[in-house]
Structures are given as structure tokens and as C-alpha cells.
Structure 1
Amino acid sequence: MTAEKVVEIQNISMNYHTLDGETLAIHNLSFDVYKGEIIVIVGPSGCGKSTALSTISGLIKPSSGKVLVNGQEVGGTNKSIGYMFQKDHLFEWRTIMSNILIGLEIQRKLNDETKKKAEQLLEMYGLAEFKNYYPSQLSGGMRQRVALIRTLAVEPDILLLDEPFSALDYQTRLSVADEIGTILKKERKTAIMVTHDISDAICLKWLPIFYRYT
């Protein structure tokens, strides 16, 4: 049985233009991601990793080349893609439960069924007893789990993770990386993560891609 290709990066390059000139962020990058794969792109700060994710999500358009998701060329943001940023971006004035539901609210998908599924995710991943807490009452690792559950609640087909452990101390990031890797595998999600730290890829036991433009 042939694996289903869900992301295709076809020779993309990205140049940023400023008053001072042109900056090359990505040069001639190509790779494919298949359904159910979880990969990590490892590279130093400033090599274009986050830019690559932004082109996949449709937040920016590459200067040249194509990005296809589920066989369709990306022309803007896509509700089938979930994006988890470096910081958890939880709203401090909202409870954990209301933070998790915010994506469903924005996409107008909030109803009894989707709320129940969000509550099940909280229960499944050990945060049910904290649903009425506020972000300031949680540890950094727990906040990252909340951020992931918030992303999963809208049921995206593909998850993009932009250095999601960078704000955590070393011991916590190893623990949280293992937890998040387990969650993604259990949910059978296709995921692409970028990081500058090879230990993130090693502890996750994902498939690392080493990338530096030349």
C-alpha cells in the first residue's frame, strides 16, 4: 500500500526585502511528508526553519517554488493545519478550559460535541483537575501541554511545532518532549517540528532532518 503524501515542498526559496537590501532565508528547499509521519527539522538559529513552517501554514508565500498540502497548492491559511508556537500564548485571564476552547470559538466549531472532546483530551492527558485553574497556576511544562491540547481540539490534519520547548529548562523540556511525542503518536497526527537543539529530536525519537542553507 502506497503511503499518502500530505505535504510537498518543491524547490522553495524565500527572500526578505528591507530598505537595507535583500536577505536570503531559504534556498531551494525540497522535502515530502507522508501521512502519520512526525519529523523534526534541526538547524541553527536564523537558518530559515520558522520561515519554512510559515510557508507550509500559508502565513507567507515563498519567493519561488511551491508548497502543496493534500495535493493543493497553498494559497493562504488552512484550517486543516494546527500551529504551535515557541510560547504557549495562553490568555492569563481565561481558565485552562476556556483557553483550550478558544480555537473552536474562532473557527465557530464550539458546540456540545466539540466541548466534550476537548474535556476528554484534558482527562486523557492528565489535566482534567486543572481545567478551572488559570495559566499562572500551572508549571511551564503543563502550560505547553495545554497549548498542544488547544491545538488538537480543532482536530487539524497536520501540526506544525515551532521550537515548542525552547522556553523550558533542560530537565523539563526532556520530560515535556517525551509527553508531547507520545500524545502526537497516540492521536496519529502528521507533524513537523523545527528546533535548533538536536536533543529535542533525539528524546522524541522522531525522524530528524538536518538543514542549513548554503
Structure 2
Amino acid sequence: MESQSIMKIRNISMTYHTLDGEIETLKNIDLDVNKGDIITIVGPSGCGKSTLLSIIAGLVNPSKGEVFINDKKVNGTNKDIGYMFQRDHLFEWRTIMGNVLIGLEIQDKVTDEKKKFAEKLLDTYGLEDFKNNYPNQLSGGMRQRVALIRTLAIEPEILLLDEPFSALDYQTRLAIADEIGTILKKEGKTALMVTHDIAEAMSV
């Protein structure tokens, strides 16, 4: 069982030091995630959900504990992990295709094969006709789909989703959460999402 886990979180604790003293954000968190799992963590704002994702992504060092991806300890950023933030962070001056390719450009992995894969994702999820458009020409839900496709284009093993629908209105949020859950399952991705909204968690 232990060896089947693609991600292992072991005894993670996080304490922040402030002028008023220490604030314990996370305490003794343990979690195993198997390949293909889509797990949602629900909790109120400020309870440490985003901190946990940042630790998993290697962006923040925990006060205590370790994270393992494919049995290798996380020590800094990891190309096997894709991170989808609360806002889509699309560059308004770049086309949709240009935005989708950003992650590949950063990793210096833009090839004809990778471009074809990105175009296939856009086509599969209803955005092929918009690849030469700009973000301000898209609805909020479509922008979030682009943000997900940008993350999928680098072909990560694990996706971390940090309240990715919070900027949308409630009805759109539930619809796009359901849609993105379907995409993650279809692509066979392993994902860990955090949210403060129970209905949103159930939609994925």
C-alpha cells in the first residue's frame, strides 16, 4: 500500500513567527495520495490550506515533516507538479495559445510535438476556435479552462489546485468545477484541491 502512493505527506507542521509570537498553521499532517486520486481538502480561510500546497510544491519549507513524490523527498520546486492558483494569471497581451505555452517556454520544452499536444487539449476542451484570441475576449469560466490547459500542457504527474474557482460567481464556479473535475478524470491526472466551499468540493 505504502509503495502505491505517488505522494506521501509525513508529519507536516508549519509555524510562522510574528511580532506577536508564534502562529501554528499546520500540525502533524499525514496524507497518502495514490495515482489517479482527486482529493479535495475543505476548510475556512486562514486554516493553512494554501500553505500545505506551497509546501508540497516545494515553494515553502515546513517547520517539521517531509513530503515525498514518487518516493523522492521534495526539496525545492518539482517539474512533476503543476500548480493552478486562485486567479488564472493569464497574460492579457498574449494570445490564448501563447498563454498555454508559457509553462513549456519556462522549462525550455517547446517542440512541435508539445505544441500539437497543447492544440489538442484546446480542441478537446472547446477552445480551439479561441486560440488566437486574447484573455479579455473570454468568459471567466473559459479563462479558468485555459489556466488548467496551461498546467496540463507541461504534463505534470500531480496537479495542485488552490481555490481555482474563487474569482468566479457562484453558479459559474460550480459549473466549471464540475467541468474541470471531468477533464482531470479524462486525462487520468492525480490532483489535490483546496477550497472553503463544500458544494464546490463535491462538484469536482
Q: TM-score range by the shorter chain?
A: over 0.9
1:154-199 CA distances to partner (integer Å, 9 max, x unpaired)? Answer: 0000000000010100110111011100100000000000000000
1:80-137 CA distances to partner (integer Å, 9 max, x unpaired)? Answer: 0000000000000000000000100000000111001000000000000000110001
In the aligned structure 1, how far is the partner of 2:168 from the partner of 2:142?
Answer: 11
Report percent identity of matched pairs: 71
What one-letter code is carried by the residue in structure 1 that aligns with 2:185? Answer: K
Which stretch shifts more, 174-183 or 2-11?
2-11
- Structure 2: state its 5+ residue gaps: none
In the aligned structure 2, how far is the partner of 1:62 from the partner of 1:2?
Answer: 22
In the aligned structure 2, how far is the partner of 1:16 from the partner of 1:114?
Answer: 41
1:16-47 CA distances to partner (integer Å, 9 max, x unpaired)? Answer: 12233221110111111001100000011111
What one-letter code is carried by the residue in structure 2 that aligns with 1:81? Answer: I
In the aligned structure 1, how far is the partner of 2:17 from the partner of 2:133?
Answer: 44
Q: Which residue of the partner structure matches residue 119 of structure 2?
A: 119
Report if aligned partners of 1:42, 1:198 keep a CA contact under 8 Å in 2.
yes
TM-score (norm 1): 0.93
1:152-171 aligned within 5 A: 152-171=152-171
Equivalenced residues, count? 204
TM-score (norm 2): 0.97
What one-letter code is carried by the residue in structure 2 that aligns with 1:158? Answer: I
- Structure 1: state its 5+ residue gaps: 205-214
1:32-181 aligned within 5 A: 32-181=32-181
In the aligned structure 2, how far is the partner of 1:62 from the partner of 1:3?
Answer: 23
In the aligned structure 2, how far is the partner of 1:134 from the partner of 1:112?
Answer: 22
What one-letter code is carried by the residue in structure 1 that aligns with 2:203? Answer: C
Q: Which residue of the partner structure matches residue 207 of structure 1?
A: none
RMSD value, Cα = 1.2
1:147 is displaced (CA, Å) by 0.1
Report if aligned partners of 1:84, 1:159 keep a CA contact under 8 Å in 2.
yes
Report if aligned partners of 1:82, 1:158 keep a CA contact under 8 Å in 2.
yes
Report if aligned partners of 1:3, 1:35 keep a CA contact under 8 Å in 2.
no
Q: 1:144 to 1:98 in 2, by over 3 A?
A: same
